[in-house]
Amino acid sequence: MSDVDFEVIVVGAGIAGSVTAYRLAALGHEVLLVERGAEPGAKNLSGGVLYSRVMEQVYPAFLEEAPLERRVTRNCLSFLTPTSHVNVDYHDDRLADPTNAVTVLRAKLDPWLVAQAEERGVTVMPGIRVDALLRDGARVVGIRAGEDELRARVVVAADGVNSFLCREAGIATAPPQHHLAVGVKSVIGLPRTTIEERFGLTGDEGAAYAVVGDATRGVGGGGFLYTNLDSLSVGVVLRLDDLTRSGLGSSQVHDAFLEHPMIARFLRDGELQEYGCHLIAEGGLHGMSDLVRPGLVVVGDAAGLTLNTGFTVRGMDLAAGSGIAAATAIDEALRRGDVSAAGLAGYPARLGKSFVGRDMRTYAKAPAFFENPRLYHDYGSLLSDVLYGVYDLDTTPRRHLLPTASTALTHSAVTKRMIIKDGLAAVRAL
């Protein structure tokens, strides 16, 4: 190592970066983990539902030792209109044993992950902004931060969506607007007993709501509501191109969502603890960047590894999966002494065979499906009108469900042909 300061430098101490650094250190490598924030998690607003089984592959005692909030046993899909909501409410004890998903707050989780890496021997440098990549011809050989230069055999770009390092390396320009969304999130503090009463939870059970329709005032995207131990994470994710066309402000849509009667009843008497915005990759498979360059590997959000299936919004588990694949491939490349693009090609190959790559391919058509404007207005209203016809017992004779639904359809902007077309698209995409 006489010609380098570290074998591997990882830039970004989120889940992808921390997992990569931890695994490489466990394999015996000298690793530096650089984080722009003054402390890990300081600049990471995200959090929510983490599908946690992949984390147990890295940290066997993850569920017992990590600072988690609640174990998600209840998942709700909600369709909102301005005056109503229709919920598909799914609760299953099988999601609790073994635990399938947990809610997390990244300001708590990220420092724990970094501490695990430090215990494995990773050198951690917070408060460092990387200004440039160092190169030897086409190969990346380190980083420059201010006047300091640090050299490595491999640099890992884990610097999040709209990655500066990827642009610096010529892997990608700034993502197009239709591959980006803005997330606006509030954390609302409430007593633990109040949360459990309002959501029908006991112990460390948790609930996760995915919301479409009036949640976003017609803008492509959706709302979310997750239960933490003594707070709620609530907000909206808005497709950037559609938000720009709408003329609405992201905070305006967020505030209207929190004021909707369905959401407001959960938040009543709560105290705002945190508020902020964050860019999110929304391109799915088509938004993924190249994963390697000579001396450089890209992981997590920097690689575009996020998935929105309508039922689940995933990024953290994919980030961890990419960290596992990257660490294994980097270890193999270092031991062979070949960190060229060909030498690091084991990473995209491993990632493609893992659940990460397979799921990205399975849901490759999902982003295009969610560009359908009817999902954010017309279908919620149609569902509400059908159920109103079922439950509004006004002493007039009742009709069977099918003619009730047909009447609602005649007053809807949705046609039978649209339903068939959108249904087929949903089957192909989801």
Angle, to 10 degrees, between the axis of helix 316-336 and the axis of helix 346-353?
A: 140
Q: Which of 47, 319, 364, 310 is nearest to 183 (CA)?
A: 47
- Residues in CB range of 328: below 8 A, 6 or more apart: 23, 346, 350
Instruction: Mark out the alpha helices in 170-315 (DSSP H runs).
Output: 192-199, 240-246, 250-259, 261-267
Exposure b/e, 88-124, CB count within 10 A at least 16 = b: eeeeeeebbeebbbbbbbbbebbbbbbebbbeeebbb
User: Which pLDDT belongs to residue 39?
Assistant: 77
CA triple 333-335-340, angle to 5 deg? 30
State the sign of the Cα–Cα–Cα–Cα dihedral 10, 13, 14, 15: positive
Element (H, E) at 140: strand 139-145
360's tokens: 């990205």
Give the Cα separation of 315 and 280 in Å (integer).
Answer: 9
Residue 180 β-bridge partners: 281
The overall average pLDDT reported for the chain is: 91
Residue 408 β-bridge partners: none
CA triple 379-383-384, angle to 5 deg? 115
What is the SS3 assignment for 1?
coil
Give the Cα separation of 176 and 172 in Å (integer).
Answer: 10
- Residues in CB range of 51: below 8 A, 6 or more apart: 100, 101, 312, 314, 316, 317
The Cα-based distances of 197 to 173, 177, 193, 202 in angstroms read: 48, 41, 6, 8
Give the Cα separation of 254 and 32 in Å (integer).
Answer: 38
Give the Cα separation of 186 and 161 in Å (integer).
Answer: 20
User: Which pLDDT belongs to residue 381?
Assistant: 84
Q: Which of 17, 98, 43, 105 is nearest to 300 (CA)?
A: 17
Q: Which of 314, 230, 256, 304 is nearest to 46 (CA)?
A: 314
Phi, psi of 216 (to 5 degrees): -120, 15
User: Which pLDDT belongs to residue 47?
Assistant: 64
Give the Cα separation of 140 and 158 in Å (integer).
Answer: 15
CB count, 10 Å around CB of 7?
Answer: 20
- Residues in CB range of 298: below 8 A, 6 or more apart: 156, 157, 163, 165, 166, 171, 289, 290, 291, 292
User: Which pLDDT belongs to residue 173?
Assistant: 64
Global pTM reads 0.91
154's tokens: 């491999």
73's tokens: 């046993």
160's tokens: 């999040």
Q: Which residue ranges in the chain fall short of pLDDT 70?
A: 1-2, 41-47, 173-176
DSSP code of residue 152: E
Going by their DSSP bridges, the two strands 31-35 and 123-126 should be labelled as parallel
Give the Cα separation of 22 and 136 in Å (integer).
Answer: 27
